[in-house]
Structure 1
C-alpha cells in the first residue's frame, strides 16, 4: 500500500487512506455521527476523486448514527455511477446492527476481512 492520507476530527473520528492495487482503502476509527461525519465524507470524496473502487475498513468504528448510513449510501451511489463500488470491511457489532436494520448490507457488500474485500 502506498500514498497515505490522514484526516482527523476534533470529535475523535479519524480516517487513514491508503491504496492497494488501484483500490482506495479508508480505515476509520472512532464514532461516525452528524458532528464528525464530514471527516468520513471528505475521505470518501477524496478517494472517489482518485478512482471508483473504495474499501471502507470499519473494524474500529464504535458507533454510527443515521448520518453515517446516509454517507455510506451516497458514496455507494456515486461510486457505482462512476463504474466502481464501495465495500465495507469488518463492521463492529455496534455498527453492523444499524447497517442490517436498515438493509444497507443488501446494497453495499460487507466483508469479514480486508484481503477478502480487496479480492472479492
Structure 2
C-alpha cells in the first residue's frame, strides 16, 4: 500500500509560515513532513499547519507533529494546528497531545492569532 502526503506552503508573514497538508500522515509519509517543515524553522519559527486535507493520521504522524512542535519551540516559535479531522482530534485527545497544541478551526483564525495580525500573509 502506497500512501501520499502533499505539503504546500500556504503563506508566510514575518516569522510565521503556514503549510497546507493533504493525504495520509503516517509511517510512510511522516519522514517527508519533518524535514520539509524543519527547514523553514530558522527563518519562520512559528508554523501553522493546515490539516484540512489530512485523511488519516497514525502514531508516526502524531510523533512527527510533536517533534516539530518541540523544534519550533527551541527556535522560539510554536506549531499551531488548523482544522484537524474528527479522527485526528480523537488521536490528539486520547494521547493527551491536544493539551500541548494550539488548535484553530480555520486558517484565517490561526493567522489572526499570530503576531503581526494586521499584515496579510504572502502566498
Contact 2:79 2:101 in 1 (8 A): yes
Normalised by the size of structure 2, how large is the TM-score?
A: 0.83
Are positions 1:20 and 2:12 aligned together?
A: yes
The higher-RCO structure (CA 8 Å, 6+ apart) is 2
Kindly report the root-mean-square deviation, in angstroms, between the aligned alpha carbons of the 2 structures: 1.4
Aligned twin of 1:118: 111
CA distance in 2, matches of 1:43, 1:17: 10
> How far is 1:18 from its partner?
3.5
Contact 1:26 1:43 in 2 (8 A): no
Aligned twin of 2:49: 56
Task: Count how many residue pairs are aligned between Structure 1 and Structure 2.
Answer: 111
Q: Where does structure 1 lack aligned partners over 5 or more consecutive residues?
A: 1-9
Pairwise mapping of residues 1-120 of structure 1 onto structure 2 (< 5 A)?
Answer: 11-22=3-14, 23-120=16-113
Q: Where does structure 2 lack aligned partners over 5 or more consecutive residues?
A: 114-123
Q: Which has the larger radius of gyration?
A: 2
CA distance in 2, matches of 1:99, 1:63: 13
Runs of 4+ in 1 over 3 A off after TM superposition: none
1:68-113 CA distances to partner (integer Å, 9 max, x unpaired)? 1111111111111211111000001121110111111110111001
